[in-house]
Amino acid sequence: MTPKDQSDIQGYDCTLGYVGRACMPAAQDSVLVSLLKQMGAVIIAKSNLPQSIMCETENPMWGLTIHPKNPDSTPGGSPSREGALLFLCSSVVGWGTDIGGSIRIPSHMLGLSGLKPSSTTTVLLSADGTDRPPVSHGVTVSTEGQEHVPSVVGPMAGSLGSIISATNAVIAATPWNLDPK
């Protein structure tokens, strides 16, 4: 699996595309990464994102992300590198964040499936019919404290079946016990 470079992974930088955030490795895994590892997932990479996590994926740390089939085009959205990895079958499930289309745009542009959960109060419907919140603890944003337009974490994959499997696995891990948001 591959999370967007907002997710803390112990021992690795979480730069958000900012040069000033380089060489500052995370002290611990985000809740999502921790749960995924406990379930046996192998995190193979962190995917690029734009500085400030908005719009097209380009930043001074890692450069520009282009569409895998058309270098004159973009995969769209801030987790576009996540989408490119999935499109190229380099990852099975990726984890992006979304405010205004970041999961949905690259999913559309690359023929993938993506899920933008609802923010804060109701997000994922579990098998017992109760709603569950997103796993956002340890997912860094550049607008800390800005709560009026919340970002949510959601899966991206090459198939809807992979989205369902990944979502059900995260729900079964009871993330709300570790992340009250």
Amino acid (1-letter code) at residue 169: A
Which residue is listed with tokens 């089939």?
69
Catalytic residue among 30, 47, 80, 102: 102
Residue 138 Ramachandran class (φ > 0 left, ψ -120 to 50 alpha, else beta): left
Active-site residue, from 4, 113, 116, 136: 4
Q: Is 4 a catalytic residue?
A: yes
Say if CB 43 and CB 118 are below 8 A apart.
Answer: no
H or E element in which residue 8 lies: none
- Structure tokens given for 159: 């198939």
Longest Cα–Cα distance in the chain: 46
Q: Clarify whether 78 is annotated catalytic.
A: yes
Task: Return phi, psi of residue 156, to 5°.
Answer: -130, 145
- Residue of 30, 34, 47, 78 with catalytic role: 78
Where do the H-state alpha helices sit in 17-159?
31-38, 80-87, 104-110
Q: Among this protein's residues, is 151 annotated catalytic?
A: no
Q: What residue type is 2 in one-letter code?
A: T
What lies within 8 Å, CB to CB, of 105 at 6+ separation is 76, 77, 80
Any idea which residues carry the catalytic annotation?
A: 4, 78, 102
